[in-house]
Structure 1
Amino acid sequence: MRTRQSNPFATSSKEEPDINAPTWLRVEHLEEPLGIDIAPLRLSWWLPLGACEQLAYRLRTNDWDSGRVGSDQSFLVDFAGPPLGSRQRVECAVKVWTEKGESEWSRPVGWEMGLLPGDWVARWIEPPEGEIPPIGKRPAWRLRYEFTVAQTPSKARRHRAWSIRGLSE
Protein backbone atom coordinates (compact mmCIF):
# COMPACT_ATOMS: atom_id res chain seq x y z
CA MET A 1 0.00 0.00 0.00
CA ARG A 2 1.32 3.48 -0.78
CA THR A 3 1.91 6.22 1.79
CA ARG A 4 1.27 9.90 1.17
CA GLN A 5 2.32 12.90 3.22
CA SER A 6 0.85 15.51 0.87
CA ASN A 7 -0.69 18.66 2.30
CA PRO A 8 -4.46 18.71 1.67
CA PHE A 9 -4.55 22.45 2.42
CA ALA A 10 -2.04 23.45 -0.25
CA THR A 11 -3.64 25.54 -2.95
CA SER A 12 -3.94 23.88 -6.31
CA SER A 13 -4.34 25.46 -9.71
CA LYS A 14 -6.56 22.58 -10.83
CA GLU A 15 -10.19 23.49 -11.34
CA GLU A 16 -11.42 19.93 -11.71
CA PRO A 17 -11.52 17.62 -8.69
CA ASP A 18 -9.02 14.74 -8.51
CA ILE A 19 -10.82 11.56 -9.63
CA ASN A 20 -8.71 9.60 -7.12
CA ALA A 21 -9.96 11.66 -4.16
CA PRO A 22 -13.23 11.78 -2.24
CA THR A 23 -15.57 14.51 -3.43
CA TRP A 24 -18.60 16.42 -2.20
CA LEU A 25 -17.20 16.80 1.35
CA ARG A 26 -19.94 18.48 3.39
CA VAL A 27 -20.60 19.57 6.98
CA GLU A 28 -24.17 18.84 8.12
CA HIS A 29 -25.15 18.62 4.41
CA LEU A 30 -23.78 22.14 3.76
CA GLU A 31 -20.89 23.18 1.53
CA GLU A 32 -19.23 26.07 3.44
CA PRO A 33 -21.49 26.73 6.44
CA LEU A 34 -21.28 29.71 8.76
CA GLY A 35 -22.75 29.65 12.25
CA ILE A 36 -22.81 25.88 12.89
CA ASP A 37 -23.96 25.32 16.49
CA ILE A 38 -24.26 21.54 16.45
CA ALA A 39 -21.93 19.43 18.59
CA PRO A 40 -20.67 17.04 17.57
CA LEU A 41 -21.07 18.08 13.98
CA ARG A 42 -21.05 15.52 11.19
CA LEU A 43 -19.21 15.21 7.88
CA SER A 44 -20.22 13.38 4.70
CA TRP A 45 -18.37 12.65 1.44
CA TRP A 46 -18.61 10.70 -1.80
CA LEU A 47 -16.10 7.97 -2.58
CA PRO A 48 -13.60 8.46 -5.43
CA LEU A 49 -14.80 7.69 -8.94
CA GLY A 50 -15.20 3.95 -9.48
CA ALA A 51 -14.88 2.97 -5.81
CA CYS A 52 -17.75 0.98 -4.32
CA GLU A 53 -16.67 0.09 -0.80
CA GLN A 54 -14.90 2.21 1.80
CA LEU A 55 -12.65 0.32 4.23
CA ALA A 56 -11.29 3.26 6.25
CA TYR A 57 -11.02 7.05 6.29
CA ARG A 58 -8.75 9.74 7.69
CA LEU A 59 -9.79 13.30 8.56
CA ARG A 60 -7.29 16.13 8.94
CA THR A 61 -7.61 19.76 10.00
CA ASN A 62 -4.79 22.28 10.37
CA ASP A 63 -4.22 21.21 13.99
CA TRP A 64 -5.68 17.69 14.28
CA ASP A 65 -5.43 14.34 12.52
CA SER A 66 -7.78 11.41 13.15
CA GLY A 67 -5.29 8.86 11.86
CA ARG A 68 -6.68 5.93 9.92
CA VAL A 69 -10.17 4.98 11.17
CA GLY A 70 -11.45 1.58 10.05
CA SER A 71 -15.04 2.27 8.98
CA ASP A 72 -17.32 1.92 5.97
CA GLN A 73 -19.25 5.03 7.08
CA SER A 74 -19.03 8.07 4.77
CA PHE A 75 -22.38 9.70 5.57
CA LEU A 76 -22.91 11.84 8.67
CA VAL A 77 -19.65 10.78 10.35
CA ASP A 78 -19.16 12.47 13.75
CA PHE A 79 -16.24 14.92 13.82
CA ALA A 80 -14.15 13.40 16.62
CA GLY A 81 -11.56 16.17 16.79
CA PRO A 82 -10.93 18.48 19.72
CA PRO A 83 -13.92 20.47 21.03
CA LEU A 84 -14.59 23.49 18.84
CA GLY A 85 -15.19 26.95 20.26
CA SER A 86 -17.62 29.68 19.35
CA ARG A 87 -16.73 31.50 16.12
CA GLN A 88 -13.85 29.08 15.41
CA ARG A 89 -12.95 28.64 11.73
CA VAL A 90 -12.00 25.09 10.68
CA GLU A 91 -10.84 23.51 7.42
CA CYS A 92 -10.97 19.75 7.04
CA ALA A 93 -9.99 17.26 4.33
CA VAL A 94 -10.59 13.52 4.04
CA LYS A 95 -8.83 10.61 2.40
CA VAL A 96 -10.27 7.10 2.18
CA TRP A 97 -9.14 3.53 1.67
CA THR A 98 -11.36 1.54 -0.67
CA GLU A 99 -11.18 -1.75 -2.54
CA LYS A 100 -9.04 0.23 -5.05
CA GLY A 101 -6.47 1.30 -2.43
CA GLU A 102 -5.59 4.60 -0.75
CA SER A 103 -7.06 7.79 -2.20
CA GLU A 104 -5.63 11.27 -2.56
CA TRP A 105 -6.78 13.98 -0.12
CA SER A 106 -10.10 15.65 -0.91
CA ARG A 107 -10.41 19.35 -1.39
CA PRO A 108 -10.84 20.82 2.09
CA VAL A 109 -14.20 22.05 3.31
CA GLY A 110 -14.31 25.03 5.64
CA TRP A 111 -16.84 26.03 8.24
CA GLU A 112 -17.26 28.53 11.03
CA MET A 113 -18.79 27.69 14.36
CA GLY A 114 -21.65 29.85 15.58
CA LEU A 115 -22.22 31.02 19.12
CA LEU A 116 -22.42 27.93 21.29
CA PRO A 117 -24.60 27.57 24.40
CA GLY A 118 -23.09 29.55 27.24
CA ASP A 119 -21.51 32.09 24.87
CA TRP A 120 -24.82 33.57 23.73
CA VAL A 121 -25.52 36.61 25.87
CA ALA A 122 -28.29 38.94 24.81
CA ARG A 123 -31.20 40.94 26.04
CA TRP A 124 -34.40 41.90 24.29
CA ILE A 125 -34.65 45.16 22.43
CA GLU A 126 -38.07 46.43 23.44
CA PRO A 127 -40.20 49.35 22.28
CA PRO A 128 -40.62 52.29 24.66
CA GLU A 129 -44.21 51.33 25.28
CA GLY A 130 -46.13 52.10 28.45
CA GLU A 131 -49.75 51.10 28.31
CA ILE A 132 -50.46 48.57 25.54
CA PRO A 133 -52.92 50.03 22.99
CA PRO A 134 -55.92 47.93 21.91
CA ILE A 135 -55.58 45.49 19.02
CA GLY A 136 -55.66 47.34 15.71
CA LYS A 137 -54.23 50.52 17.28
CA ARG A 138 -50.74 49.17 18.10
CA PRO A 139 -47.88 50.84 16.20
CA ALA A 140 -45.35 48.88 14.20
CA TRP A 141 -42.15 49.63 16.05
CA ARG A 142 -38.79 49.80 14.34
CA LEU A 143 -36.49 48.25 16.88
CA ARG A 144 -32.79 48.99 16.81
CA TYR A 145 -29.99 49.58 19.23
CA GLU A 146 -27.01 51.85 18.79
CA PHE A 147 -23.73 51.13 20.53
CA THR A 148 -20.12 52.24 20.52
CA VAL A 149 -17.06 50.00 20.32
CA ALA A 150 -13.78 50.84 22.01
CA GLN A 151 -11.73 50.26 18.85
CA THR A 152 -12.39 49.38 15.23
CA PRO A 153 -12.79 45.60 14.96
CA SER A 154 -10.53 43.76 12.52
CA LYS A 155 -13.27 41.20 11.86
CA ALA A 156 -16.99 41.19 12.69
CA ARG A 157 -20.05 39.02 12.17
CA ARG A 158 -23.62 39.96 13.05
CA HIS A 159 -25.65 37.32 14.86
CA ARG A 160 -29.36 37.84 14.98
CA ALA A 161 -32.23 35.96 16.51
CA TRP A 162 -35.51 35.75 14.67
CA SER A 163 -38.78 36.77 16.25
CA ILE A 164 -41.57 34.29 16.75
CA ARG A 165 -43.04 35.26 13.39
CA GLY A 166 -39.69 35.15 11.59
CA LEU A 167 -39.66 38.90 10.93
CA SER A 168 -36.32 40.65 11.02
CA GLU A 169 -34.65 43.61 9.38
Structure 2
Amino acid sequence: MTSDPDTLWRRCAHLGRVLLPLVDQEPGRKADRHENLRTWGIDTVVGERLMEIFAALAAHAVVIDSSVPTAQFDALPVRTVAEAATSKRDFELLAGLPDSFADVRDEQAVQLFRLSAYEGGQASRRLFQLSREVRHSLIVLAEHPLLPCPTCADVLRRATEANLPK
Protein backbone atom coordinates (compact mmCIF):
# COMPACT_ATOMS: atom_id res chain seq x y z
CA MET A 1 0.00 0.00 0.00
CA THR A 2 1.13 3.55 -0.48
CA SER A 3 2.96 5.29 2.32
CA ASP A 4 0.89 8.48 2.43
CA PRO A 5 -2.65 8.37 0.98
CA ASP A 6 -3.17 12.14 1.26
CA THR A 7 0.05 12.95 -0.59
CA LEU A 8 -0.80 10.41 -3.26
CA TRP A 9 -4.26 11.88 -3.77
CA ARG A 10 -2.88 15.42 -3.99
CA ARG A 11 -0.41 14.32 -6.70
CA CYS A 12 -3.15 12.51 -8.62
CA ALA A 13 -5.54 15.46 -8.30
CA HIS A 14 -2.83 17.81 -9.55
CA LEU A 15 -2.36 15.57 -12.60
CA GLY A 16 -6.11 15.73 -13.23
CA ARG A 17 -6.20 19.52 -12.93
CA VAL A 18 -3.37 20.10 -15.42
CA LEU A 19 -4.51 17.52 -17.97
CA LEU A 20 -6.97 19.65 -19.93
CA PRO A 21 -4.93 22.90 -19.91
CA LEU A 22 -1.93 20.96 -21.27
CA VAL A 23 -4.00 19.18 -23.92
CA ASP A 24 -5.60 22.50 -24.87
CA GLN A 25 -2.19 23.69 -26.04
CA GLU A 26 -2.81 21.44 -29.06
CA PRO A 27 -4.78 23.36 -31.72
CA GLY A 28 -8.48 22.54 -31.80
CA ARG A 29 -8.53 20.19 -28.81
CA LYS A 30 -10.63 22.42 -26.57
CA ALA A 31 -13.20 23.14 -29.30
CA ASP A 32 -13.45 19.41 -30.12
CA ARG A 33 -13.92 18.48 -26.47
CA HIS A 34 -16.59 21.14 -25.98
CA GLU A 35 -18.41 19.91 -29.07
CA ASN A 36 -18.30 16.33 -27.78
CA LEU A 37 -19.66 17.41 -24.41
CA ARG A 38 -22.50 19.35 -26.06
CA THR A 39 -23.31 16.38 -28.31
CA TRP A 40 -23.51 14.13 -25.26
CA GLY A 41 -25.71 16.61 -23.40
CA ILE A 42 -23.09 17.24 -20.71
CA ASP A 43 -22.59 20.73 -19.32
CA THR A 44 -19.06 21.87 -20.27
CA VAL A 45 -18.02 22.95 -16.76
CA VAL A 46 -19.38 19.77 -15.15
CA GLY A 47 -17.95 17.56 -17.89
CA GLU A 48 -14.49 19.07 -17.64
CA ARG A 49 -14.48 18.81 -13.85
CA LEU A 50 -15.53 15.17 -14.11
CA MET A 51 -12.75 14.59 -16.63
CA GLU A 52 -10.23 16.10 -14.22
CA ILE A 53 -11.40 13.87 -11.40
CA PHE A 54 -11.57 10.86 -13.75
CA ALA A 55 -7.88 11.30 -14.63
CA ALA A 56 -7.02 11.65 -10.94
CA LEU A 57 -9.02 8.53 -10.07
CA ALA A 58 -7.37 6.53 -12.87
CA ALA A 59 -3.87 7.49 -11.72
CA HIS A 60 -4.79 6.81 -8.10
CA ALA A 61 -6.21 3.39 -8.96
CA VAL A 62 -3.07 2.35 -10.83
CA VAL A 63 -0.86 3.25 -7.87
CA ILE A 64 -3.19 1.59 -5.35
CA ASP A 65 -3.51 -1.58 -7.45
CA SER A 66 0.24 -1.90 -7.90
CA SER A 67 0.92 -1.25 -4.21
CA VAL A 68 3.87 0.96 -5.04
CA PRO A 69 5.02 3.69 -2.67
CA THR A 70 3.60 7.16 -3.25
CA ALA A 71 7.06 8.26 -4.39
CA GLN A 72 6.71 5.96 -7.42
CA PHE A 73 3.77 8.01 -8.73
CA ASP A 74 6.24 10.18 -10.64
CA ALA A 75 7.53 7.17 -12.59
CA LEU A 76 4.04 6.06 -13.64
CA PRO A 77 3.75 6.09 -17.46
CA VAL A 78 0.97 8.32 -18.78
CA ARG A 79 -0.12 5.50 -21.11
CA THR A 80 -0.78 3.30 -18.07
CA VAL A 81 -3.08 5.93 -16.62
CA ALA A 82 -4.80 6.27 -20.01
CA GLU A 83 -5.45 2.54 -20.14
CA ALA A 84 -6.82 2.55 -16.59
CA ALA A 85 -9.30 5.27 -17.55
CA THR A 86 -11.06 2.88 -19.92
CA SER A 87 -10.16 -0.58 -18.67
CA LYS A 88 -11.25 -0.22 -15.07
CA ARG A 89 -14.90 -0.22 -14.09
CA ASP A 90 -16.17 3.02 -12.61
CA PHE A 91 -16.52 1.61 -9.10
CA GLU A 92 -12.98 0.16 -9.29
CA LEU A 93 -11.64 3.68 -9.67
CA LEU A 94 -13.20 4.59 -6.33
CA ALA A 95 -11.30 1.97 -4.31
CA GLY A 96 -8.74 3.15 -1.78
CA LEU A 97 -9.62 6.84 -1.83
CA PRO A 98 -8.82 8.94 1.23
CA ASP A 99 -11.59 9.25 3.84
CA SER A 100 -11.62 13.02 3.43
CA PHE A 101 -10.26 15.54 0.95
CA ALA A 102 -8.44 18.78 1.68
CA ASP A 103 -10.00 20.36 -1.42
CA VAL A 104 -13.79 20.56 -1.22
CA ARG A 105 -13.95 20.65 -5.04
CA ASP A 106 -12.26 17.24 -5.16
CA GLU A 107 -14.68 15.87 -2.61
CA GLN A 108 -17.70 17.18 -4.55
CA ALA A 109 -16.37 15.85 -7.86
CA VAL A 110 -15.67 12.42 -6.36
CA GLN A 111 -19.19 12.37 -4.89
CA LEU A 112 -20.67 13.23 -8.31
CA PHE A 113 -18.53 10.54 -9.92
CA ARG A 114 -19.61 8.03 -7.26
CA LEU A 115 -23.28 8.94 -7.71
CA SER A 116 -22.99 8.58 -11.50
CA ALA A 117 -21.18 5.24 -11.21
CA TYR A 118 -23.83 3.69 -8.98
CA GLU A 119 -26.85 5.36 -10.58
CA GLY A 120 -26.48 3.40 -13.81
CA GLY A 121 -28.40 4.17 -16.98
CA GLN A 122 -27.66 7.53 -18.59
CA ALA A 123 -25.24 8.49 -15.79
CA SER A 124 -23.11 5.41 -16.49
CA ARG A 125 -23.21 6.13 -20.20
CA ARG A 126 -21.99 9.67 -19.47
CA LEU A 127 -19.05 8.27 -17.47
CA PHE A 128 -18.24 5.88 -20.32
CA GLN A 129 -18.16 8.79 -22.77
CA LEU A 130 -16.00 10.83 -20.42
CA SER A 131 -13.63 7.89 -19.91
CA ARG A 132 -12.99 7.78 -23.65
CA GLU A 133 -12.34 11.53 -23.72
CA VAL A 134 -9.97 11.30 -20.72
CA ARG A 135 -8.12 8.42 -22.34
CA HIS A 136 -7.80 10.39 -25.57
CA SER A 137 -6.49 13.44 -23.69
CA LEU A 138 -3.90 11.34 -21.86
CA ILE A 139 -2.83 9.70 -25.13
CA VAL A 140 -2.34 13.17 -26.66
CA LEU A 141 0.08 13.90 -23.81
CA ALA A 142 1.69 10.46 -24.07
CA GLU A 143 2.44 11.01 -27.75
CA HIS A 144 4.24 14.30 -27.19
CA PRO A 145 7.10 14.32 -29.73
CA LEU A 146 9.77 15.44 -27.26
CA LEU A 147 9.15 12.65 -24.74
CA PRO A 148 9.26 9.03 -25.93
CA CYS A 149 7.40 7.54 -22.94
CA PRO A 150 6.24 10.36 -20.68
CA THR A 151 5.57 9.75 -17.02
CA CYS A 152 3.32 11.56 -14.59
CA ALA A 153 6.38 13.53 -13.45
CA ASP A 154 6.97 14.66 -17.05
CA VAL A 155 3.38 15.90 -17.31
CA LEU A 156 3.61 17.76 -14.02
CA ARG A 157 6.94 19.26 -15.08
CA ARG A 158 5.36 20.47 -18.36
CA ALA A 159 2.53 22.01 -16.32
CA THR A 160 5.05 23.86 -14.15
CA GLU A 161 6.94 25.08 -17.23
CA ALA A 162 3.62 26.30 -18.68
CA ASN A 163 2.92 28.16 -15.40
CA LEU A 164 -0.29 26.24 -14.79
CA PRO A 165 -1.70 26.60 -11.25
CA LYS A 166 -1.09 23.82 -8.77
TM-score by length of 2: 0.22
Q: Of Structure 1 and Structure 2, which has the larger fraction of its residues in strand?
A: 1
Structure number with larger C-alpha Rg: 1
TM-score by length of 1: 0.22
Q: Of Structure 1 and Structure 2, which has the larger fraction of its residues in helix?
A: 2
Higher relative contact order (CA 8 A, sep 6+): 2
